[in-house]
Structure 1
């Protein structure tokens, strides 16, 4: 999310612009604008094709030809108003927080980490890795702190934080992977650490370590090892306050906004990496049943998390997924603490047909309900966190091997993104190896080589496919309402717009016949070359025989020519080589497949006609049932009216029961 636009004010800072065309942002640092929106401009790009401005509290870039700059301008005088004073106050506070963080971390290394070299509590390798990891972090923050002072004087704190964003990401992700290992090892040796600090450091008057009890030492180390993560959260809080007091026309407003987004996302990602690494270390020290090999003997895992798995039988299970470079391991928790059961090992290749597995993101879980059972629709799953693995080889703990598919539901968008990226990289690597293997096999196949007359093999030149491949999808497309700036047109003429037609999803990947064409052309080319070569050899031998003869007679000439023609015909008929036979076999196979498809189509049509007939019969039955229902409703209404009538009469004739009975007998007789 690093800002790709290099901006400059060029006298437009504080001016206002009116939007004349709708623009939808395609990047995270761009701004959505609509017609008649009034935007306060902050800066423009070097070539003046992009502008940055603020609208409704959001700042971003947009094309300059989508707006019209107005004469109206906001007051941009550089006087020390209240907002500017508060902004500078929080910028200075950020500098002070950075200096105090560096000071505390340096004291921590000097007082607590460096003395660990003098004892045998931890291994030398552990202490060396701990010191190197903390030194890399502190060196980066020292450079960051030195450059921060110059950036503050220029009042472009957001621009500088965006420029160092990639370095922050690299350093903190590396530290987050190592941090859980350090913390767990120190907690395991906290009693030895407390004794060591009692004997060596109790005499030192350090405010960082007031006592040397076991609990205090463990908290002390855990606190300072987690301090860098808290520092990231401090950056986000201070940047939000800086943005609050940054005016809409300020040149640094957009970069401050983007810095908040980046460092918030970085904080969440780093904490997720740390959590995943803690979980992995917990698994490494736990007992795993029903598996003979050590899962972590090939190194660290690529990714690990908990997820919900749905198999083809519709069984929904909460499992632990561990991704390694060559396979995916699925574990299930048990009732015993620190103990897990091995469930499956999934390989990303179908062993029966050597097809690489496919990964498909599922945006609507209703689309896969037919494959995994109808009970998944009733569960409370988030559809946008699902993906499907197809054509994988499943090794169960019972020893069975089968091909199948899984539906995996992640707990967050961060999990989903990491799983899809990691598995896609593995599938691409496997596909690349298979393609190289196919190329090696095709180079040694009989179609790609040809035996010459002297017995040596000569390679045939490849022929390009006669039919063209499908066009590639463009990397980006301009929106339909993008205007074309034409200086030759009059002001009264309407501006044309780009009208790019987006490719249909059904047309993508439709063409698959290029490989078949290439095989056919190779066969035909080798066949024609063989015939031409044999014919030329016969002609050369005939010419050689005729040149050696001295004045032949007319009868001998006629006999020789007849023999030559017979020999040529015989040679041409005997050139039915292996390539021709393979061509005929290929054509016969195509015709058989065509006939099979036609028979299947006819049977499907017959089934469709039968279904139509049964549908008509059902419709007639439904109509008759509806008529019966209507008749029954009418009779029920008549009965209700009859009962109401008698109830009224009974209420009127309560004092005259005999008259009521007489009436009732009279009506019943009628």
Structure 2
């Protein structure tokens, strides 16, 4: 299109309703301006300032349009083709200059401030990494965009800027979403070291206040991204209706508007997640939130309970779904309940007059929950995240269930640990010999042992002791043995009954969800809990009897050893 050509016009023979957003809809008799013709049977054209694709056999060419031809409802452009091209060139130059300024600003921020900051002791290594985020990737991507844009603009009227932006859209989207995900953490680092960073920026040449220069520079990537849709729309406005880049330019407007919205959504998601983790949750009495893992998704939902609607926030962790509400002043979050992801079903619901964009959560330990989302896309996001997280949590829990076998095996070796503890109390640490009854005898200040574990009576020197001193030492040895046994028993009671904690958590999860239940449901839930408690009591009783038997055996063994030791000492003392 190096010279001004007359636009090619076609008349619609049939009505066409496009199914995709890049297809053109028209009625029979509409006059369409052709922008591209493809050998595959699809042409691209403009009607009513909308450009899209349509089947070529739905139209016929208008060889000499006159007043007898049915006029198209589209408005006649007030600009001549020459003026349109001049204005388009001006828009392209402004576009190019603004992109150069954007790259120069990012490059200056990195070279003058961010890279020298690494050499200082203002931030720790991990904090510096969080502050930098992936800004180097952002800079590299925009530098590539600038180089391609300069090459494209040189082509003059034939420049396909819209096509260029469409081809780079996937890369720009991935880089900027990643940057927006990490930006809230960057802001937290700047708030934490505000004074130190302000002093560093001003020492490095930034205008006062230096922290504002850093804040503005680090927010530049997503602020620039939000401008692309408007700039491309201005370019489209000055692009001729028959220009072969008009369709790509028009489509790039919607593409970059969607990218900007997704990046803003991702940034707000991470800001909300960071606020939940740092500000605390009222009525939360469990472990620290950081122990639940990383927040995968968070957002507002509505819980439908009959005709009642309750505004809630869902916070998704790797194995837990947290349910929160907001305080009356909207100043903090309030804990309402949590659901384990194992054993629940996620079921999409069809739209009705009362409920739209909803899905259902049900399971054996909870009453059915109907969750209403703000739109269909958000509903699908929650369904995908929950199902994906369910599969990962199921595989993790299968590995956890195997742990009691190892714990039980450890508990059964408690007697061996007691023997080892007695050996360590009575023998020299340098000589690891088998335990024997003689090991319980009190050691003299110099106590030589042979390899076979017997004492050398001729070379040893003993000091005379009164009966009270020997009695105290005897009691101390017995006490150490009993303490070692009790420590092992406590470990068994603390770790082994894993099902108790699991059942308790389930009961808390069932009771903590803010859902009204009828009397029959509450009765059934209580019956289930009573049955679980009965089974727990039976197992605990059995374990208690086993421990009693073990304690009686230990008492008999210790008494027997003490008697033997006294008999041996009486035989040795003159």
TM-score between both structures, scaled by the size of structure 1 = 0.52
Residues 239 and 197 of structure 1: is their aligned pair in 2 closer, same or farther, counting only changes over 3 Å? closer
Partner of 2:381: 418
Which structure 2 residues correspond to residues 356-395 of structure 1 after superposition, within 5 A? 356-362=345-351, 364-366=352-354, 383=356, 386-392=357-363
Partners of 2:130 and 2:185 within 8 A in 1: no
Deviations 1:382-439 (A, max 9, x none): x4xx31214246xxxxxxx4231223232x56534533443454568789999xxxxx
> How many Å apart are 1:340 and its aligned residue?
3.0
Residues 387 and 302 of structure 1: is their aligned pair in 2 closer, same or farther, counting only changes over 3 Å? same
Question: Please, which of 287, 305, 314 is the counterpart of residue 321 of structure 1?
Answer: 314
Residues 296 and 338 of structure 1: is their aligned pair in 2 closer, same or farther, counting only changes over 3 Å? farther
Looking at structure 1, the residues matched to 278 and 60 of structure 2 have their Cα atoms a distance apart, in angstroms, of 65
Q: Secondary structure at the match of 2:226?
A: helix
Partner of 2:207: 210
Looking at structure 2, the residues matched to 239 and 414 of structure 1 have their Cα atoms a distance apart, in angstroms, of 26
Looking at structure 2, the residues matched to 30 and 234 of structure 1 have their Cα atoms a distance apart, in angstroms, of 26
Residues 430 and 314 of structure 1: is their aligned pair in 2 closer, same or farther, counting only changes over 3 Å? farther
> How many Å apart are 1:339 and its aligned residue?
4.6
> How many Å apart are 1:298 and its aligned residue?
5.0
Alignment: residue pair count = 379
Partner of 1:257: 250
> How many Å apart are 1:62 and its aligned residue?
0.9
Question: Please, what is the CA RMSD of the aligned residues?
Answer: 3.1
Q: Does the alignment pair 1:163 with 2:170?
A: no
Partners of 1:52 and 1:61 within 8 A in 2: yes
Residues 180 and 228 of structure 1: is their aligned pair in 2 closer, same or farther, counting only changes over 3 Å? same
Q: Does the alignment pair 1:404 with 2:396?
A: no
Q: Does the alignment pair 1:181 with 2:185?
A: yes
Deviations 1:477-517 (A, max 9, x none): xxxxxxxxxxxxxxxxxxxxxxxxxxxxxxxxxxxxxxxxx
Which structure 2 residues correspond to residues 556-571 of structure 1 after superposition, within 5 A? none
Looking at structure 2, the residues matched to 24 and 423 of structure 1 have their Cα atoms a distance apart, in angstroms, of 37
Residues 123 and 403 of structure 1: is their aligned pair in 2 closer, same or farther, counting only changes over 3 Å? same
Residues 426 and 131 of structure 1: is their aligned pair in 2 closer, same or farther, counting only changes over 3 Å? closer
Partner of 1:69: 61
Residues 64 and 13 of structure 1: is their aligned pair in 2 closer, same or farther, counting only changes over 3 Å? farther
Partner of 1:309: 303
Residues 22 and 425 of structure 1: is their aligned pair in 2 closer, same or farther, counting only changes over 3 Å? farther
Using the TM superposition, name which of 294-303 and 239-248 deviates more.
294-303
Q: Secondary structure at the match of 2:62?
A: strand
> How many Å apart are 1:247 and its aligned residue?
1.2
> How many Å apart are 1:220 and its aligned residue?
1.9
Partners of 1:349 and 1:392 within 8 A in 2: no
Residues 405 and 161 of structure 1: is their aligned pair in 2 closer, same or farther, counting only changes over 3 Å? same
Partners of 2:132 and 2:186 within 8 A in 1: no
Looking at structure 2, the residues matched to 340 and 174 of structure 1 have their Cα atoms a distance apart, in angstroms, of 27
Residues 90 and 421 of structure 1: is their aligned pair in 2 closer, same or farther, counting only changes over 3 Å? farther
Partners of 1:30 and 1:61 within 8 A in 2: yes
Partners of 1:48 and 1:64 within 8 A in 2: no
Deviations 1:432-491 (A, max 9, x none): 999xxxxxxxxxxxxxxxxxxxxxxxxxxxxxxxxxxxxxxxxxxxxxxxxxxxxxxxxx
Question: Please, which of 49, 55, 78 is the counterpart of residue 47 of structure 2?
Answer: 55
Q: Does the alignment pair 1:147 with 2:151?
A: no
Looking at structure 2, the residues matched to 315 and 335 of structure 1 have their Cα atoms a distance apart, in angstroms, of 18
Partners of 1:392 and 1:405 within 8 A in 2: no
Looking at structure 2, the residues matched to 432 and 57 of structure 1 have their Cα atoms a distance apart, in angstroms, of 54
Partner of 2:458: none
Looking at structure 1, the residues matched to 256 and 19 of structure 2 have their Cα atoms a distance apart, in angstroms, of 21
Residues 308 and 135 of structure 1: is their aligned pair in 2 closer, same or farther, counting only changes over 3 Å? same
Partners of 2:304 and 2:369 within 8 A in 1: no
Looking at structure 1, the residues matched to 227 and 331 of structure 2 have their Cα atoms a distance apart, in angstroms, of 35
Partners of 2:303 and 2:369 within 8 A in 1: no
Looking at structure 1, the residues matched to 57 and 396 of structure 2 have their Cα atoms a distance apart, in angstroms, of 48
Partners of 2:133 and 2:182 within 8 A in 1: no
Q: Secondary structure at the match of 2:333?
A: strand
Looking at structure 2, the residues matched to 222 and 409 of structure 1 have their Cα atoms a distance apart, in angstroms, of 34
Partner of 1:20: 13
> How many Å apart are 1:210 and its aligned residue?
1.8
Question: Please, which of 284, 287, 293 is the counterpart of residue 290 of structure 1?
Answer: 284
Residues 307 and 350 of structure 1: is their aligned pair in 2 closer, same or farther, counting only changes over 3 Å? same
Partner of 1:275: 268
Q: Secondary structure at the match of 2:135?
A: helix
Partners of 1:331 and 1:343 within 8 A in 2: yes
Partner of 2:89: 88
Q: Secondary structure at the match of 1:346?
A: strand
Q: Which has the larger radius of gyration?
A: 1
> How many Å apart are 1:118 and its aligned residue?
2.5
Looking at structure 1, the residues matched to 389 and 6 of structure 2 have their Cα atoms a distance apart, in angstroms, of 49
- Name stretches of at least 5 consecutive residues in structure 2 with no aligned partner: 67-79, 398-574
Which structure 2 residues correspond to residues 419-438 of structure 1 after superposition, within 5 A? 419-423=382-386, 425-426=388-389
Residues 14 and 297 of structure 1: is their aligned pair in 2 closer, same or farther, counting only changes over 3 Å? farther
Residues 194 and 430 of structure 1: is their aligned pair in 2 closer, same or farther, counting only changes over 3 Å? closer
> How many Å apart are 1:119 and its aligned residue?
2.5
Looking at structure 2, the residues matched to 73 and 187 of structure 1 have their Cα atoms a distance apart, in angstroms, of 67
Residues 304 and 116 of structure 1: is their aligned pair in 2 closer, same or farther, counting only changes over 3 Å? same
Looking at structure 1, the residues matched to 120 and 330 of structure 2 have their Cα atoms a distance apart, in angstroms, of 33
> How many Å apart are 1:168 and its aligned residue?
1.1
Q: Secondary structure at the match of 1:148?
A: helix
Question: Please, which of 34, 46, 54 is the counterpart of residue 41 of structure 1?
Answer: 34
Residues 260 and 303 of structure 1: is their aligned pair in 2 closer, same or farther, counting only changes over 3 Å? same
Residues 193 and 350 of structure 1: is their aligned pair in 2 closer, same or farther, counting only changes over 3 Å? closer
Deviations 1:160-189 (A, max 9, x none): 111111111111111110111101210221
Looking at structure 1, the residues matched to 161 and 178 of structure 2 have their Cα atoms a distance apart, in angstroms, of 25
